[in-house]
Structure 1
Amino acid sequence: MSHNIVALMPMRHSSERVKGKNYRAFGDGRPLFQHMLDALVSSDRIDKVVIDTDSPVVTELCQKHYPDVMLIERPEHLRDGTTPMNNVLLHDISMVDSRFYLQTHSTNPLMTVKTLNSAIDTFLARYPIHDSLFSVTRMQTRLWDQLARPVNHNQAILLRTQDLPPIYNENSCLYIFEKATLQERQNRVGHRPYMFEMEPFEAQDIDEEINFQVAEAIFHATRGKL
Structure 2
Amino acid sequence: MDKPVQTLKIVCIIPARGGSKGVLQKNIRPLAGKPLITHTIGQVVHAQHDIDVYVSTDDPAIADIATQSGSRVIMRPESLSGDTATSESALVHALSKIEQVEDVDYVVFLQCTSVFRSSADIDGALSLIIQEQCDSLLSVVPSHRFLWRVGDKGAESINYDFTNRPRRQDMDRQYQENGSIYIFKPWVLSQLNNRLGGKIALYPMDERSAIDIDTELDFKVAELLLLHSASE
Instruction: Work out whether 1:218 is the aligned partner of 2:218.
Output: no
With over 3 angstroms needed to count, the CA separation of the structure-2 counterparts of 1:82 and 1:46, relative to structure 1, is: farther
For normalisation by structure 2, the TM-score amounts to 0.88
Paired position in structure 1 for 2:112: 106
With over 3 angstroms needed to count, the CA separation of the structure-2 counterparts of 1:214 and 1:163, relative to structure 1, is: farther
Letter in 2 for 1:21: K
Paired position in structure 2 for 1:115: 121
Paired position in structure 1 for 2:53: 49
Identity rate, percent: 28
Q: Secondary structure at the residue paired with 1:215? A: helix
Following TM superposition, by how much is the alpha carbon of 1:191 offset from its aligned partner in structure 2, in angstroms? Answer: 2.0
Q: 1:1-226 to 2 correspondence within 5 Å?
A: 4-27=9-32, 29-66=33-70, 69-97=71-99, 98-127=104-133, 130-147=134-151, 148-223=155-230
* Residues 7 and 103, structure 1, Cα contact 8 Å, conserved in 2: yes
- Residue deviations 1:57-83 (CA, integer Å, cap 9, x gap): 2112233342xx211011121111211
2: CA distance, partners of 1:19 / 1:161:
40
Q: CA RMSD in A?
A: 1.8
With over 3 angstroms needed to count, the CA separation of the structure-2 counterparts of 1:16 and 1:61, relative to structure 1, is: same
- Residue deviations 1:15-35 (CA, integer Å, cap 9, x gap): 1122221111112x1011111
Q: Secondary structure at the residue paired with 2:163? A: coil
Following TM superposition, by how much is the alpha carbon of 1:207 offset from its aligned partner in structure 2, in angstroms? Answer: 2.5
2: CA distance, partners of 1:210 / 1:159:
35
Q: Secondary structure at the residue paired with 1:59? A: helix
Structure 1 portions without partners, runs of 5+:
none
Structure 2 portions without partners, runs of 5+:
1-6
Following TM superposition, by how much is the alpha carbon of 1:163 offset from its aligned partner in structure 2, in angstroms? Answer: 3.3
How many positions carry a matched residue from both structures?
219
For normalisation by structure 1, the TM-score amounts to 0.90
Letter in 2 for 1:87: S
